[in-house]
Amino acid sequence: MAEPLSTDKIEEALADLTNWSHEDDKITKEFTFDNFRDAIGFITRISFEAEEQVHHPEIFNVYNTVTISLSTHDAGGKVTEKDVALAKTIESLYNN
Ligand SMILES: C[C@H](O)[C@H](O)[C@H]1CNC2=NC(N)=NC(=O)C2=N1
Tell me the pLDDT tens digit for each residue of 44-60. Answer: 999 999 999 999 999 99
Is the pTM higher than 0.95? yes
Query: Is the distance from the beta carbon of residue 29 to the nearest atom of ligand 1 less than 6 Å?
Result: no
78 located within any domain: yes
How many contiguous H segments (helices) and E segments (strands) does the chain have?
A: 3, 4
69 located within any domain: yes
66 located within any domain: yes
65 located within any domain: yes
Cα gap 12→93, rounded to integer Å? 21
Q: What is the ipTM of this complex?
A: 0.94
CA-83 nearest atom, ligand 1: 12
CA-86 nearest atom, ligand 1: 12
- Find the domain containing 66 and state its range: 25-94
9 located within any domain: no
In the predicted model, is pLDDT for residue 76 greater than 90? yes
| Mean pLDDT computed over 35-39 | 98
State the average pLDDT for the chain: 97
- Contact between 72 and 83 (Cβ < 8 Å): yes
Q: What does 28-57 look like in DSSP terms, one character per residue? A: EEEEE-SSHHHHHHHHHHHHHHHHHHT---
How many angstroms is it from 53 CA to the middle of ligand 1? 9
End-to-end Cα distance, the chain: 31
Number of domains in the chain: 1
CATH number of the domain to which 55 belongs: 3.30.1360.20
In the predicted model, is pLDDT for residue 1 greater than 90? no
CA-74 nearest atom, ligand 1: 15
SS3 63: coil
Query: Is the distance from the beta carbon of residue 69 to the nearest atom of ligand 1 less than 6 Å?
Result: no
16 located within any domain: no
86 located within any domain: yes
Query: Is the distance from the beta carbon of residue 56 to the nearest atom of ligand 1 less than 6 Å?
Result: yes
33 located within any domain: yes
